Amino acid sequence: MADPGAATTPGSVENLIGIIGSVHAETADRRPATPSRRRGTVRMNPSTPNDLIKQSPMGWYQYAIVAICVLTYAADGLDVVTLSYAAPSIIKEWGISTQMFGWASTATPIGIAIGSIFISPFADRIGRRVLTLWLLGLLIGLLFATAMVGSIGALMGLRLVTGMCLGALVVCLNVTVSEFSNAARSNVFIGILHTGYSAGGMLCGALAAVLIEPFGWRAIFMAAATLNLLSFVLALFLLAESPAFLGRQRKPGALERLNRLMARLGKPALDALPDAPVTDSKKPGASIIPRAMWVGTGLLCLAGFAFTIAGGFMAGWRPQILAIGGLNMTWNGIAGMTTYGAGIVAHLIVGGLARRVGEVRIAVIFLLAMGGAFTLLGAVPDGMTWALIAASTLCGFFNVGSYTALVLVTLNYHDVTTRNAGLGIMMGFSRVGGIIGPLLGGYVIGAGAGRFWVMLLFGGLMIIPAIAAVLARMRAGPNSSLGQAATAH
């Protein structure tokens, strides 16, 4: 998210889960290809470029693209939390109230939701690489401008637009990694990608400790802009357009461009472009998501929304919940560290197991376990320090793992024509849930509800996304790649 992980647990905003899209009847991502070789070329069925990527071993260039995306995601994770570290210094320097500063903090998640829903779908039209470069370039300028801002109004505006760029960029990175990875490793690399986001948040903390006191709060934004500049330069020279996207182009020279990329990837050349995908829309572009996929897409949006209500609550109120249980700030800080660390481990475990277990199945397991962990945190008696820390760590583990699993379900539910749009709208609804969760938590706690009942309430919400994910799988058509076995290595 931005990673709903980070917005859902301390260290996820994403871990963050965001989308308007249209799913056309296309050959499934992982369906075995049926090549017919002739003089070094391969003639295959319409999804040829995607089939070649999914069914063949990965080369060094594919690994390099994944690495660039992880670095960019780390920069994204850093960008999201810069304002929180700068907050005390800004409030003191400008002499503003915390309530006034809260509007600037809220602008970022609102922008992320807007970017996820309304900007990310453009990648399905203009390309993943093009949109990624534009977003990175804008982020560099926005972060440098933030370092020079002098009023709360200007800061709010900059953070809103920054959030819009971050929300769309997160979607592009997830889709790019998915489309450059083969079937055997796609889910694993999505998990690794999300650890980059968490690592970016941790890096921001380290930079804040080193830079803010001696150089002031503006230095943290300069550092963030510099990291984004590095990502932009690497992406400009190394990041390629998705072969799956190029395979749908019908512009002059499209086949030559696609074959140059396939050669760079170490794959066979194609002697013809795949057939154009058939849509159920009479007017091209009239519908981003065809009617057949509306219900499934809506269910995934519901899953992301309900999930992030609980995750957003946990992100905003975890320290207070632990304080109610008797932990002082020292132990609270330790609990935060273990929760962050558990989230990173969860990314990797879910990514590694999702294809073997099934994306929907592992999502349901982690969502229900997250509800159980929330309830456990509420049930631990006051004053039991290590038990509270252990329960908090379990909450972080299953929270972040659930987010990664929902992202994988969404990526595999949609095909190449609407993958950016489909993931974007789910993440966008997730961001809305991440805004509602902390507000709802404040109301419930302020109303005098005990720790157990508060945690039971938010833990019980996990039944909704678990059921929604199962129903979405039932609505998936034969072209969905959910749960299909991977064979390439």
**Both 240 and 297 in a single domain?**
no
Question: 55-88 pLDDT, tens per residue?
Answer: 889 999 999 999 999 999 999 888 887 887 788 8
**Both 450 and 420 in a single domain?**
yes
**Both 243 and 301 in a single domain?**
no
pLDDT band at residue 21 using 50, 70 and 90 as cut-offs: very low
Question: 83-112 pLDDT, tens per residue?
Answer: 877 888 898 899 988 778 878 877 888 898
User: Taking 90 as the threshold, does the pLDDT of residue 222 lie above it?
Assistant: yes
Among 453-457, 472-476, 483-487, top mean pLDDT goes to 453-457
Question: 354-376 pLDDT, tens per residue?
Answer: 888 899 999 999 999 999 999 99
The answer for residues whose C-beta is within 8 angstroms of residue 149's C-beta and 6 or more apart is 155, 158
What is the separation of C-alpha 97 from the centre of its chain, rounded to a whole number of angstroms?
32
**How would DSSP label each residue in 196-235?**
HHHHHHHHHHHHHHHHHHHH-THHHHHHHHHHHHHHHHHH
**Both 323 and 369 in a single domain?**
yes
**Both 368 and 235 in a single domain?**
no
User: Taking 70 as the threshold, does the pLDDT of residue 17 lie above it?
Assistant: no
User: Taking 80 as the threshold, does the pLDDT of residue 481 lie above it?
Assistant: no
Does a structural domain hold residue 356? yes
What is the separation of C-alpha 394 from the centre of its chain, rounded to a whole number of angstroms?
21
**Both 87 and 222 in a single domain?**
yes
**Both 178 and 52 in a single domain?**
yes
- Residue of 297, 173, 175 whose CA lies nearest to 245: 175
**Both 220 and 92 in a single domain?**
yes
pLDDT band at residue 285 using 50, 70 and 90 as cut-offs: very low
User: Taking 90 as the threshold, does the pLDDT of residue 38 lie above it?
Assistant: no
Q: Are 289 and 20 in contact (CB under 8 A)?
A: yes
Task: Indicate yes or no: pTM above 0.85.
Answer: no
- In the predicted model, what is the mean pLDDT of residues 331-344? 80
**Both 333 and 428 in a single domain?**
yes
**Both 102 and 182 in a single domain?**
yes
Would you give the DSSP letter of residue 274?
P
**Both 253 and 184 in a single domain?**
yes
Structurally, the chain folds into a number of domains equal to 2
For β-strands 41-43 and 269-270, DSSP reports them as parallel
CATH code at position 394: 1.20.1250.20
Q: Are 79 and 143 in contact (CB under 8 A)?
A: yes
Does a structural domain hold residue 310? yes
- The domain of 412 spans 290-475
What percent of the chain lies above the pLDDT cut of 70?
84
**Both 237 and 203 in a single domain?**
yes
